[in-house]
């Protein structure tokens, strides 16, 4: 998938290893980099759902948003990047057609 960030500051905090470690600590930065790598390696959202540690789920704080687990007490908040939401006949999200995500926050409890 293609992964985008809502700001250049967030992109730097997530992509730059030294900045990630300073901001989130070594353990969380390591998981963050691994999860972002898994997201990029996935062809579509359905593949990310198959990674048990990602615990992909709806974000109660963002309508249409998703949470990707980064371990205990931390999540990546993401949204679909495209304007149109691909839906199945039953009205649920067609995860095989989602190929771009927008990271909006690294949420740490």
Considering the domain 2-108, what is its CATH architecture? 2-Layer Sandwich (3.30)
Domain ranges of the chain: 2-108
Tens of pLDDT, residue by residue over 3-26, are 999 999 999 999 999 999 999 999
The SS3 assignment for 4 reads strand
Rounded to whole angstroms, the Cα distance separating 54 from 42 reads 12
Mean pLDDT, the chain, whole residue set = 96
Tens of pLDDT, residue by residue over 69-94, are 999 999 999 999 977 899 999 999 99
pTM of the model: 0.93
């Amino acid at each position: 998938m293609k992964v985008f960030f809502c700001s250049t500051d967030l992109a730097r905090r997530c992509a730059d290893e030294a900045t990630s470690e300073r901001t989130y600590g070594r353990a969380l930065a390591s998981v963050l980099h691994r999860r972002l790598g898994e997201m990029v390696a996935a062809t579509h959202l359905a593949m990310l759902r198959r990674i048990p540690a990602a615990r992909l789920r709806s974000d109660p704080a963002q309508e249409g948003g998703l949470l990707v687990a980064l371990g205990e007490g931390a999540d990546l908040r993401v949204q679909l990047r495209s304007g149109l939401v691909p839906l199945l006949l039953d009205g649920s999200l067609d995860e095989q057609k989602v190929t771009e995500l927008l990271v909006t926050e690294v949420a740490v409890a």
